[in-house]
Structure 1
Amino acid sequence: MAVLTGLVAMAVVAALGLLAAGASDLPDNAFVQVVAAVVVMAVGGSVDVVGDAGFLGQTDADVAVLPLTVTLVGALLVAAGFLRPLRHRAVAGARELALWAARVAVLWLLALLGLSFLARKRFTVGLGGGAIGDIGELLDATPEVGFETDVPLTLLFGLLWLAGLLFLALVVSRKAPLPARLLRFQESVRPAAFAMVVLLLAYVALGVVVGLVVAVVRGHTAETFAVILLGLPNLVWTAFTVGLGASWEGRVDGPFGLPMPHVLDQVLRTPDLSTLNLRTLADYDGRVWWLLVIAAVLVLAAAFLMAARSPARVRAWQHALHMAVALALTVLAVSLLASTSAHYGLSLLGIGDLGGGLSGQVSLKPRLWTGLGFAVLWGLVAGFLGSLLARRVRRRGEVEPGPPDDGLQETPG
């Protein structure tokens, strides 16, 4: 049930997102194959873009992007299904947990294998009319582009994705059992891990609200829902790191771009690599500084939540250290997951961009050390302040003071 509900939910979300993006108009009834490819990509699988331009022609394409909305939905359901039978246990042996995870992994790999063989399709790309079209017809250069799954890499990365997810589920959940040897780590690790998951989900929830408002007020309903259903975490989690002070670099070139607000497209659509941070975004729209305010409020709230769920004996400097490590790991994960790279090119007899403007590229990569440095600094400050705020909250390990001892004791009889 964990595997089935997770994959079905991912397929439904991917299908709805693709429908909103206009994928129902794909030729050759390729909608089902495209949905399967999106699900495979969402769990870290390798989907290669392939092409052929016939005699004396060449196509070159590559896509590396995670549709993180689909990923998030599947992760939440698979993790919940994995933890459900364990929720009433206090302690579980490492061998027992490993065998339980292995049962899930076997079914997961079988499902990925089926999806991998389903996610294959090719489309014909027209060269248009005029001289280019005549040359293409004369040389029998009929460009084709499509996708296919690298099955071994998909199974490997899909298994690593599942292993990371199940490990994170055990770390985050307060009710999940742990081996006896790891119980001493739960007081320092679990509150911080839970706070980071809540922080990321809060950004997603805020993004959904903003997206719905945009869809109602400004129109473009289909495009907005496509972004929400396919790549909302890609946007809001990148905005989270930018609000902390992190920098990204990238470029948008050609007729297609990232599903992003117009201000991001303006910053990135330059001849060379552009830097994406609060300063460069604010040059186009001063409202971007609200990202700093939102980050401050939500990170401090996460620090308070972490301290409130921690034992009372944990000191303020320990909260600061835990928060710094947790926030740095979160920013690292976001930086790796939200990175995007895509390019497509078509040439004939060495002449590029024959597809009438089909060639182009999109890239967005983090400046990792900058983001990690700001995350550590934010974590130290927020962790200390969150500890001070949580002192007014009753926490585990606190003992309520009893009545004063007046030295008199009641004797029997």
Structure 2
Amino acid sequence: MSRTSSPAPPGAAPALRPVHAWRDALATVAAALVTMWVVATLGLWAAGAGALPSGSFPRVVAATVVMAVGGSVELHGDAGFLAETDAAIDVVPLSVTLAGALVTSAAFLAPLRFRAVADSREMLGRVGRTAALWLLAMLLLALVARHTFRISVGGGIIEDIGEALGATPKVGFSAEIAPTMGFGLLWLLAVLAITFLVSHRAPLPSRLLRFQESVRPPAYAMLLVLLCYVLIALVIGLITAITHGHPAETVAVLLLGLPNLAWMGLGIGMGGSWRGRVAEGIGLPMPRVLGDVLRVPGGGDATLDLGSLAEQDGRVWLLLPLAAVLLLAAGFLAAVHSPARTKHWRHALHMALALGLTTLVIGLLTRVAAHYGLTVIGVGDLGEGLGGDVFLRADFLPLIGYGLLWGLVTGFLGSLMARRVRHRGAVTGDGPTGRDQPTGRDRPPGPDTGRGGP
């Protein structure tokens, strides 16, 4: 009795040879790292980090890339028995993160662009090979991202004594290897998962095709909202750089923290708020209106919301109608790409869950916590610029609550607006069943459709 091999699923490609499979994984990892390195380099250079001593600039770039993928960078100080240094930092440069995520997604999908259905074993192999090379890259980055700087205490007898006794204050940074590799791997897996959630070019295993009807349309709509906010903020930033002076500082913000500000604008426009503080002696590149609110006399905490920001600049109120327009458009777009039989309340629920998760992610990614201080012979923080605190964190419960509420409203209204568009050419349920009859548009896409989603 002769053995016959089972035919490959329609739309699937033949198995890759090992050399080609590893080549694709290497291309994905290399493209992502090069992109993040270039964006971080340009942003830090615009911020003035190119003047750092002792050839430390590449190491600072490496540390920035590590933080962009969720890795951990530890700050440390050493000043002998005369002085103590204390420093910590927790921030995600989301411009670097977003650039790397978009390139990772595009590079990973490039070999699959002509596919309609994917084999589960093949996809796991692709993810596994990419993850293995990514872990190796994270290890190398963590080894490079470490340096030590000498701190001047302003000259005079204290510094002379410190040099004579070998107790000159120093502060440095080093990436923690295990957390960097662990969180870096989670970052890669999250990017790939989101890629398959939102992209119609991403082929899914046949078992998962039925989930794309309810998951992909709202996920795709949320991605477009986030990218629209970044694009709008980029245009505003470029105009500001040209017309208001200080172009280098503005470009540094654009290349390092543009999504941080843009996505906070989304949350604040919906009614959410952030709490934070920036010490007077710390000069950080940030929009003037944020600095005016966060620099509270006496070092107290400030609240960033529509009211406090509008006191500094009335144009901030435009964030409210902007959120309304873009989220309503997202609800309409998601409804258009959903099956015609989806009921309005169900579509509203899908949008509420999608926007609630989006606001949770925004709150987690836009956190900032930094502290640095110098104490000499047990006497306080010496001198302006030698000590200070920065922190910024979202008020999560109100933020997520507003996200759920806005999702329900815009999802329901978007579904109503898209009713005629979605039902064009469909046979509606005015008969005995009282339900919409699915058309060819509503069938889960498979090998015969050649499509994977919206």
Give TM-score scaled by structure 1 length: 0.93
Q: Output the amino acid matched with 1:146.
A: G
Deviations 1:357-384 (A, max 9, x none): 3201110001100001111110111011
Deviations 1:297-336 (A, max 9, x none): 1111111111111111112111111111000000000100
Question: Does the 8 Å contact 2:120/2:205 carry over to 1?
Answer: yes
Correspondence for 1:152 among 178, 202, 206: 178
Query: In the alignment, what sits opposite 1:411?
Result: none
Report deviation, 1:75: 0.3
Counterparts of 1:349 and 1:240, CA distance in 2: 47
Counterparts of 2:326 and 2:242, CA distance in 1: 26
Correspondence for 1:298 among 326, 329, 332: 326
Question: Does the 8 Å contact 1:254/1:358 carry over to 2?
Answer: no
Correspondence for 1:284 among 312, 331, 345: 312
Counterparts of 1:356 and 1:261, CA distance in 2: 22
Report deviation, 1:393: 2.4
Question: Does the 8 Å contact 2:77/2:87 carry over to 1?
Answer: yes
Q: Output the amino acid matched with 1:68.
A: L
Query: SS state of the match for residue 343, structure 1?
Result: strand
Counterparts of 2:425 and 2:170, CA distance in 1: 66
Q: Output the amino acid matched with 1:374.
A: Y
| Aligned: 1:312 with 2:323 | no
Counterparts of 2:337 and 2:70, CA distance in 1: 32
Deviations 1:93-140 (A, max 9, x none): 433221110010011111111111111111111111235435544654
Number of residue pairs matched by the alignment = 400
Report deviation, 1:85: 2.0
List structure 1 segments (4+ residues) > 6 angstroms apart after TM superposition: none
Question: Does the 8 Å contact 2:335/2:422 carry over to 1?
Answer: no
Query: In the alignment, what sits opposite 2:436?
Result: none
Correspondence for 1:341 among 366, 369, 386: 369
Report deviation, 1:355: 4.9
Counterparts of 1:193 and 1:85, CA distance in 2: 23
Correspondence for 2:264 among 209, 213, 238: 238
Deviations 1:68-91 (A, max 9, x none): 000000000111111222233333
Q: Output the amino acid matched with 2:61.
A: V
Query: SS state of the match for residue 299, structure 1?
Result: helix
Query: SS state of the match for residue 291, structure 1?
Result: helix
Deviates more, 1:165-174 or 1:354-363: 354-363
Report deviation, 1:258: 4.5
Q: What pairs with 1:128-167 in structure 2 (closer than 5 Å)? A: 128-134=154-160, 136-137=162-163, 140-167=166-193
Query: In the alignment, what sits opposite 1:405?
Result: none
Query: In the alignment, what sits opposite 1:256?
Result: 282
Q: Output the amino acid matched with 2:175.
A: T
Correspondence for 2:426 among 394, 398, 413: 398
Question: Does the 8 Å contact 1:94/1:179 carry over to 2?
Answer: yes
Counterparts of 1:259 and 1:370, CA distance in 2: 28
Relative to structure 1, the CA distance from residue 358 to residue 185 in structure 2 (aligned partners, 3 Å threshold; closer, same or farther) is same
Query: SS state of the match for residue 418, structure 2?
Result: helix
Counterparts of 1:32 and 1:139, CA distance in 2: 31
Q: Which consecutive residues of structure 1, in runs of 5 or more, have no partner in the other structure?
A: 401-413
Correspondence for 2:409 among 381, 384, 390: 381
Counterparts of 1:357 and 1:37, CA distance in 2: 22
Q: Output the amino acid matched with 1:181.
A: R
Q: Output the amino acid matched with 1:311.
A: P
Q: What pairs with 1:54-93 in structure 2 (closer than 5 Å)? A: 54-93=80-119
Deviations 1:133-166 (A, max 9, x none): 3554465431111111101110000001011111
Counterparts of 1:343 and 1:391, CA distance in 2: 53
Question: Does the 8 Å contact 1:346/1:359 carry over to 2?
Answer: yes
Relative to structure 1, the CA distance from residue 165 to residue 27 in structure 2 (aligned partners, 3 Å threshold; closer, same or farther) is same
Correspondence for 1:40 among 66, 74, 90: 66
Q: What pairs with 1:201-280 in structure 2 (closer than 5 Å)? A: 201-270=227-296, 271-280=299-308
Correspondence for 1:327 among 355, 369, 383: 355
Relative to structure 1, the CA distance from residue 257 to residue 187 in structure 2 (aligned partners, 3 Å threshold; closer, same or farther) is farther
Correspondence for 1:26 among 45, 52, 72: 52
Q: Which consecutive residues of structure 2, in runs of 5 or more, have no partner in the other structure?
A: 1-26, 429-454
Query: SS state of the match for residue 178, structure 1?
Result: coil
Q: Output the amino acid matched with 1:113.
A: L
Question: Does the 8 Å contact 1:195/1:305 carry over to 2?
Answer: yes
Query: SS state of the match for residue 54, structure 2?
Result: helix
Give TM-score scaled by structure 2 length: 0.85
Deviations 1:223-267 (A, max 9, x none): 111110111001111111011100111111142254322121121
Deviations 1:376-411 (A, max 9, x none): 1101110111112222425698369xxxxxxxxxxx
Deviations 1:34-59 (A, max 9, x none): 11111111111111112111223211
Query: SS state of the match for residue 328, structure 1?
Result: helix
Report deviation, 1:30: 1.0
Relative to structure 1, the CA distance from residue 181 to residue 294 in structure 2 (aligned partners, 3 Å threshold; closer, same or farther) is same
**Pairwise CA RMSD:** 1.7
Counterparts of 2:224 and 2:369, CA distance in 1: 28
Q: What pairs with 1:82-121 in structure 2 (closer than 5 Å)? A: 82-121=108-147
Report deviation, 1:191: 0.5
Question: Does the 8 Å contact 1:199/1:298 carry over to 2?
Answer: yes
Deviations 1:12-40 (A, max 9, x none): 11111111111111000111111111111
Query: SS state of the match for residue 63, structure 1?
Result: strand
